[in-house]
Each structure stands twice: as C-alpha cells, then as structure tokens.
C-alpha cells in the first residue's frame, strides 16, 4: 500500500545476465530463446548480457545486429543497454587489460548500433560495467579507463560504472561516464545504498533492483538493514524509469531487475511481478 501511494511500480526492465543458459530451463540455452522467454514473461525493457556466447560484440556482424534489433522491435522490448560483468581487475592486469578494453569498446559500439537500429531516440541505453578504483589502479587501468571513455564519447553511448570511483567522484557533465548503483553489491561491501544515492555527485546512468529474498539474505550476511522504500524514493528523485505499462519511453536511467544471485530466477521473476507493491 505504501509503495502504491508513493507511485512506485515494479520495474519491467530485466537483465539477461541472471539467466544461465540451460536447455532444460524454460528460457533455453540460446540468446534468442532467452529474449523471447523474458518478453513472454512480461518484460518491456531488456539489458543484454555482453559476455554471453552468441551475443558478444565480436560475434555479431551488421546483419546479426539488425536481426537482434528486429527481434526486440517484434517483441516490443525497449533496448536498455548491455551488461559487461567482467572482473574489474582485468582492466588493471597487463595480461588481460587489452582483451578487457576490446570487450568494453566492442560493447559500447554494439550498444550504439542497437540503439540506432531500434529507432527509439527517446531512450538512452547504457553499457554497465565495473572499473577498478583509480587510487589503487596501475597506469594500465588508467589507460583502460580513458580508452573506454573515449570510445563512449566517439559512439555517443553512456557508461554506468558500478565501481567505487564513479559513485565517489565529482560530477562531470561532459563525460559519458556515470555511476551505477546495485543495492546487493553495496550492502555486501559495507555501504548503505540509500546514503550512496543521497551523496552521489556523478550522474546516475544505471540502477539495479533486487528481489526481497536476495536483499534479506544480503542484509543478514552483512548485518545491515536495507530500507527498500527509501531506496526507491531516492531513485525516484534521480528520474529512474521502469518501463511500466503506464510509463512512456524516457531517457532517464533504467531501473533494471537483476536476477544474478537468485537460486530460482524464474520463480523470483514471476513472484516479483505478481506482487507489484513489493520492493
């Protein structure tokens, strides 16, 4: 009831990243099957998994990218960006940095391509990733950060950095790099997600929604309380969008339902949507 009075709604933007490919599962093993399953389940916005075989940027030529965009339009799914959850340390390690930069820049170009092919200029999808902390990073990591920012500026894409620098740094309105906020990760690292949002100086380019079950577990393991209503209120002030049926397309940062860490993602997803007042 409180959630309804405050105008909150369950987000209909979902990330593919929590669906592990499995032919025995309802969503199947192929990216197309997973996208179709999410649309059938009720998603209205989609974040692709940029690490998934068959959807990696280097695997998709021009024809394949047009096919992905066509599939999203046919299923009436708004393209809300790409998750690229590779370890932040890979950007700082000389042995892996080049490959990590290539993956990030490829995801940025793919995000820009799919945004253009979607034909929906009213939204601003983002590439979601985690960069290493600058003060602890090597010159290799600094070079990686600059290469990624340059690529985003060149292709006109947004980056949501879920690492510590973007949420602790100052605002730079001319940079495509903004902050990403995940309450589960923040709580597990000893941070209060509501306080982080309240003190955030950088633009918010991405935010995560987690189910109540996952957040209860995180609260118990971190011995910290998570105020779900305060979190959603803080996000509302930042203009997040949920792609709810009564919400028009918007360029605001998407609130993405993240199914990672779910033991039973199908049940978690359907339970979340069947109880829209539950945050």
Q: pTM of the entire structure?
A: 0.93
| CB neighbours of residue 212 within 10 Å | 15
Of 21-25, 94-98, 99-103, 270-274, least confident by mean pLDDT is 270-274
Q: What average pLDDT does range 153-168 have in this prediction?
A: 89
pLDDT digit string, tens, across residues 81-104: 999 999 999 999 999 999 999 999
Q: What is the pLDDT of residue 4?
A: 46
| C-beta of residue 244 within 8 angstroms of C-beta of residue 14 | no
Higher pLDDT, 224 or 127: 127
Q: What is the pLDDT of residue 168?
A: 72
2 pLDDT tier (thresholds 50, 70, 90): very low
Higher pLDDT, 170 or 153: 153
């Amino acid at each position: 009831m409180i959630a309804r009075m405050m105008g909150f709604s369950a987000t209909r933007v979902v990330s593919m990243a929590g669906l592990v490919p499995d032919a025995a599962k309802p969503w199947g093993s192929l990216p197309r099957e997973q996208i179709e399953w999410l649309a059938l389940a009720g998603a209205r916005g989609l974040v692709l998994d940029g690490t998934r075989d068959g959807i990696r940027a280097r695997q998709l030529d021009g024809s394949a990218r047009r096919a992905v965009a066509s599939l999203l339009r046919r299923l009436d799914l708004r393209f809300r960006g790409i998750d690229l959850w590779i370890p932040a340390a890979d950007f700082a390690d000389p042995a892996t940095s080049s490959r990590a930069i290539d993956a990030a820049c490829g995801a940025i170009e793919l995000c820009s391509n799919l945004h253009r092919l979607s034909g929906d200029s009213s939204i601003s999808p983002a590439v979601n990733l985690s960069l290493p902390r600058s003060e602890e990073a090597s010159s290799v990591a600094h070079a990686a950060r600059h290469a990624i920012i340059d690529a985003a500026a060149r292709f006109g894409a947004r980056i949501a950095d879920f690492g510590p620098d973007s949420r602790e740094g100052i605002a730079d309105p001319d940079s495509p790099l903004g902050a990403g906020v995940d309450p589960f990760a923040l709580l597990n690292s000893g941070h209060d997600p509501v306080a982080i949002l309240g003190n955030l100086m950088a633009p918010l380019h991405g935010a995560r929604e987690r189910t109540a079950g996952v957040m209860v577990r995180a609260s118990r393991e971190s011995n910290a309380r998570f105020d779900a209503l305060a979190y959603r209120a803080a996000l509302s002030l930042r203009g997040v969008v949920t792609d709810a049926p009564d919400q028009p397309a918007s360029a605001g940062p998407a609130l993405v339902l993240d199914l990672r860490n779910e033991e039973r993602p199908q049940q978690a997803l359907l339970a979340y949507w069947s109880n829209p007042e539950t945050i």
